[in-house]
Structure formats: structure tokens, C-alpha cells
Amino acid sequence: MATSGPLVLVVGGTGRTGKSIVTGLLKHGKFRVAVLTRPVSANKPYIKELAAKGVEIRIGDISTDGHAKLVEILQGVDVLISAIYAGLIHDQRKLFAAAKDVNPNVRVVPDDWATYTPRGIRQLADDKYAIHDYIEELGLPHTYIDVGWWMQITVPGKVPGFELDTAWTFYGDGDKKFAVTDLNHIGDFVARIIEDPRTLNQWVYIWEDELTQAEAWATATRVLGSGWLQETVQVSADELLQRATEFRAKYRENPDLTSLYGLAVAEYAYSIHIRGDNNIATAKAAGALDARELYPDIRVSTFEEFLRRVHGKREENS
Ligand SMILES: NC(=O)c1ccc[n+]([C@@H]2O[C@H](COP(=O)([O-])OP(=O)(O)OC[C@H]3O[C@@H](n4cnc5c(N)ncnc54)[C@H](OP(=O)(O)O)[C@@H]3O)[C@@H](O)[C@H]2O)c1
């Protein structure tokens, strides 16, 4: 790891997105890297691995720590990246307020890392947009980054460690294109984005492939056979809308993490597969910069290449 250069603190640097970001930053070699972890996680083997690579470990909890402690945690930080657990979006306010008090020129990247949805459609996206508004009120230099849908959860249970049960559902006609990214490639883009003056106060969209759900499932069948299809279920657009409406009512009544999770799953599916929001043309029309245009030298994979890679299958033409 670099011993000079800007200091980048990754809050949530031990999570799924965070690990990809930290790996990308270390590979890039131009940053000093620090990771925030909670006291309960400080002795985990992964923290020891990071420390052995020269990553500075800072201990704290953005939910329970007060302003003074957060100010201490943020000392010396030039770039602050948040990739925390999605249930903590609102807690980032304290983090960014403290960041401004430490260094009003710190460049912040809040916890987005998701699909594109316009405002007013998806609760979790609106919660993240409220954080954008707060960052702009504070006047902090920023970059917002979305990544589309992870390739790892695009077809049901087909990637070890990513057995998300909601991925077993085929939504509506499955005919809306949506952008996907290999979770493990996010960090390669992030390392370039945060040093790039063109992305200052901009929104960048990272993506590797774009396909419909019907195409994704056909790809998985080509690569892995069709046995898994028997366990899948179909949900129509009307059923999904009904499900989202019910979860929204529950969330209004009791905005806890369980109701947010149910609502998030239904609204993600509705936005991606029925409305067709999460495609690169729509995101660019809404103002996103295309990471593949900014960094054409970063190698990307198609969804089929990704599936063959994780399952050790040869390319069809090789
Ligand atoms: N695009 C997609 O397909 C997709 C899929 C899933 C998630 N996402 C989005 O990606 C973002 C990150 O989610 P993820 O699933 O990658 O995260 P995750 O794996 O749930 O990571 C959680 C991280 O948050 C940290 N954390 C938890 N509580 C904390 C606290 N109180 N104070 C400080 N740190 C705390 C944990 O740190 P320690 O355990 O080290 O303490 C851990 O590093 C979210 O915004 C989510 O919506 C996108």
C-alpha cells in the first residue's frame, strides 16, 4: 500500500461492497487506506488481514458514537467513502456533519452503490437521496456512485455465498433491460473515480453488462443447465405492485428494518423489472456519467463471462 498520497477512509470497509472498494484502492496503489470497523468486529480475522496489508484500522460505531468521537475518527481523512449496511443510511448525517467540521474540503462518497430509480419510487433510494440533499446543504465536495444490480444476485443461488431467496422470482414479462456489475469489480472503478476531477460533484454509474431477466435466465441455463428452473416462481406486475403497496403500508405504520427490507425487495423488483428504470440510457438521461466511457481501459465482463468464471466453465468458443 502507498505510504503517501490521499488518505481514504472506508466506512463499512469490511462489508460486501466495502471489501471490493478496499481491494480496488490497495491495487491502485496511490492511496493510504483506512477502514472503520465497530468495536465488536475489531478482532475478526479479516481486520487482521487488512492491518497486515498496511491498512489503518479505526474503531467506531456511526450509530452510537457522538460528534466528538466521530471527529476523532475522521482526523486526517481526504476522501470519505461510506459503504455501510443499508439499514444505517440516516446515521450518515452525523458522519458527514463531523466530516465537515474536521475538513470542509473532504471529498465524500455516500452509501449508494445501487440501481438507478428516480425520486419518489423506491423508499431506500429516497432515503439515499435525502443524504445527497444533506451533503449539498453542508456544501461538501462529493461524488455519488451507483453500480446497477450485482451480477452475484442476478440469477438464483448460482454464486456461492449469494443465495438470496428473492432472486428465485421471475417478474412480469422479464423484458426490461437492466445494468449489472460484478461486485468484485466495483473497487477498480472507485479507485479511478475518486482521484478524477471530472467526477467531482457528479454522479457516476458503474456497469459491465445490460440484459433482461429473460436473457439472464437463458444465459444461466446455457452455462449451468436447467434443473434450477423448476424451483423458481413467477410474479406478475400486478401482484408485485400489490406486494409493494402492502409493504409500504406496513412501513408507514412501523418503519423498522424488517418492514424496510420487505419494502426494498418489492420496490427494487418493481423499479428494475416492471418500470425498467435501471438501464444505462435512462441513468445517463437523468444525469449520470458512464464509468465505462470515463475509463475505457478498465476491463469489463459480460454476465455470461462472469457466470463461466465463477463456475469454472470454459468459454463456448474456447
Ligand atoms: N447493487 C446491488 O445489487 C446491491 C446489493 C446489496 C446491497 N447494495 C447496497 O450496497 C450498500 C452496502 O451494502 P453491503 O451489503 O455491501 O454492506 P454489508 O455487507 O451489509 O456491510 C455492512 C458494513 O457496515 C458496517 N457497519 C454495520 N454497522 C455499523 C455501525 N453501526 N457503524 C459503523 N459501521 C457499521 C460493518 O462493519 P463491521 O462489521 O466491520 O463493524 C460492515 O462493514 C448498501 O447501500 C446496499 O443498499 C447493493
CA-nearest residue for atom 10, ligand 1, is 113
Each residue of 78-115: pLDDT tens digit?
999 999 999 999 999 999 999 999 999 999 999 999 99
Grid coordinates given for 272: 428494475
Least confident range of 52-56, 161-165, 285-289, 311-315: 161-165
| 223 CA → ligand 1 middle, Å | 30
Per-residue confidence (pLDDT) for residue 110, from 0 to 100: 98
With a 6 Å cutoff on the Cβ, whether 62 touches ligand 1 is: yes
State how far the Cα of 196 lies from the Cα of 29, in Å rounded to an integer.
15
Per-residue confidence (pLDDT) for residue 103, from 0 to 100: 98
Each residue of 122-147: pLDDT tens digit?
999 999 999 999 999 999 999 999 99
| pLDDT surpassing 70 at residue 151 | yes
State how far the Cα of 277 lies from the Cα of 148, in Å rounded to an integer.
10
CA-nearest residue for atom 36, ligand 1, is 12
Per-residue confidence (pLDDT) for residue 318, from 0 to 100: 41
Mean pLDDT of all residues in the chain?
Answer: 94
CA-nearest residue for atom 20, ligand 1, is 85
Grid coordinates given for 73: 475518527
Per-residue confidence (pLDDT) for residue 228, from 0 to 100: 81
State how far the Cα of 126 lies from the Cα of 262, in Å rounded to an integer.
16
Task: Provide φ and ψ at 143, rounded to 5°.
Answer: -140, 130
With a 6 Å cutoff on the Cβ, whether 116 touches ligand 1 is: no
| 14 CA → ligand 1 middle, Å | 8
| pLDDT surpassing 60 at residue 316 | no
Average pLDDT over residues 22-38: 98
